[in-house]
């Protein structure tokens, strides 16, 4: 069974975009650029992209503020793992991130996310293609291969909540 620790490891690896073993401001700007590039083709307006960049920026500031125990300006895996001890400190940040990402997935605002854009955005975050497909299927796409924004949004919130187990997003681990 997937444990919270497995997911925390994966989240850390995804956030460590430049793979230097530490989370830093640079990782979050790199990921924001990738997600922005994935979204750009879909002609979402500027506001959702700005919201997404702001959400990544806040995410980093929250991690730095709450978890950089030795105050060296970067967050090691050991420091990051302490997030399980106080999940409530990350609630607002995770909600903003989930809203921003899922909104990017629905540029026409019909409440549905098309498979292709979902895949593009999740690849930009760094998930593996097979896991992305498994998650999309678990969301129960409709006959036009679309999922509900609200379902994805809820899954993002669960996923980045360090203490939760047995969630749909566990398809992304392993």
Q: Give the interface with Ca ion as residue ranges (CB under 5 A).
A: 16, 18, 20, 22, 27, 68, 70, 72, 79
Of 17 and 121, the one with the shorter C-beta distance to Ca ion is 17
Residue 15 CB, nearest approach to Ca ion (Å): 8
Of 22 and 127, the one with the shorter C-beta distance to Ca ion is 22
Residue 81 CB, nearest approach to Ca ion (Å): 12
Q: How many angstroms separate the Cα of 171 from the Cα of each of 17, 139, 174?
A: 21, 11, 8
Residue 14 CB, nearest approach to Ca ion (Å): 11
Q: ∠ at Cα 123 (121, 129), nearest 5°?
A: 125
Residue 16 CB, nearest approach to Ca ion (Å): 4
Residue 77 CB, nearest approach to Ca ion (Å): 10
Of 26 and 115, the one with the shorter C-beta distance to Ca ion is 26
Of 12 and 160, the one with the shorter C-beta distance to Ca ion is 12
Report d(CA 73, CA 59) in Å as an integer: 14
Of 29 and 119, the one with the shorter C-beta distance to Ca ion is 29
Pairing mode, if any, of strands 146-148 and 112-114?
antiparallel
């Amino acid at each position: 069974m997937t444990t919270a620790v497995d997911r925390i490891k994966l989240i850390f690896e995804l956030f460590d975009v430049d793979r230097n073993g530490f989370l830093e401001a640079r990782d979050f700007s790199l990921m924001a650029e990738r997600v922005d590039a994935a979204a750009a083709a879909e002609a979402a307006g500027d506001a959702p992209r700005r919201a997404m960049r702001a959400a990544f920026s806040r995410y980093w500031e929250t991690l730095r503020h709450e978890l950089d125990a030795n105050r060296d300006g970067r967050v090691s895996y050991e420091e990051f793992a302490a997030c399980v001890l106080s999940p409530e400190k990350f609630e607002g940040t995770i909600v903003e991130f989930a809203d921003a990402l899922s909104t990017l997935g629905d540029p026409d605002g019909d409440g549905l996310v098309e498979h292709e854009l979902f895949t593009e955005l999740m690849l930009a975050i760094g998930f593996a293609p097979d896991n992305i497909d498994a998650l999309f299927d678990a969301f129960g796409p409709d006959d036009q291969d679309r999922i509900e924004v609200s379902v994805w949004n809820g899954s993002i919130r669960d996923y980045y909540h360090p203490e939760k187990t047995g969630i749909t997003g566990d398809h992304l681990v392993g």
